[in-house]
Amino acid sequence: MANTITVRLFARLAELAGKRKLTLDIGSGMTAADAFGAIARDYPKMAGLGGRLMYARNQEYVSPDTPLKAGDELALIPPVSGGDAL
């Protein structure tokens, strides 16, 4: 089995990557935040969004220091704003 995870990108992250899903090779001990860092190296415009992300592993919210394992699905969710003031 390959040491890969599926990463789902939402909102601005999907716009910057030009896709909503990608596959990432992970190493031993890689955390959710490490995974974002690896992706941001390929998509440098994402780098400034890392401090405000929410992470979900296998559809459960987790902290940035949560370790990942092969086969996991990681969702990267940036803050969303918008709408009109009432």
Domain count, the chain: 1
pLDDT (tens digit per residue) in 57-80:
999 999 999 999 999 999 999 987
Task: Show the domain range for 18.
Answer: 4-77
Asked, for residue 20, whether it belongs to a domain, the answer is: yes
Query: What CATH number corresponds to the domain at position 23?
Result: 3.10.20.30
User: In b/e form, how buried is each residue of 57-83, taking b as 16+ CB within 10 angstroms?
Assistant: beeeebebebebeeebebbbbbeeeee
pTM: 0.88
Instruction: Flag whether 48 is in a domain.
Output: yes
Within-domain flag for 54 = yes
On whether residue 85 sits in a domain, the answer given is no
> What confidence tens digit (pLDDT) does each residue in 13-59 have?
999 999 999 999 998 899 999 999 999 999 999 988 888 899 999 99
Q: Does residue 12 fall inside a structural domain?
A: yes
**Residue 29 belongs to a domain:** yes
In 3D space, the residue among 78, 21, 17, 36 whose CA is nearest the CA of residue 53 turns out to be 78
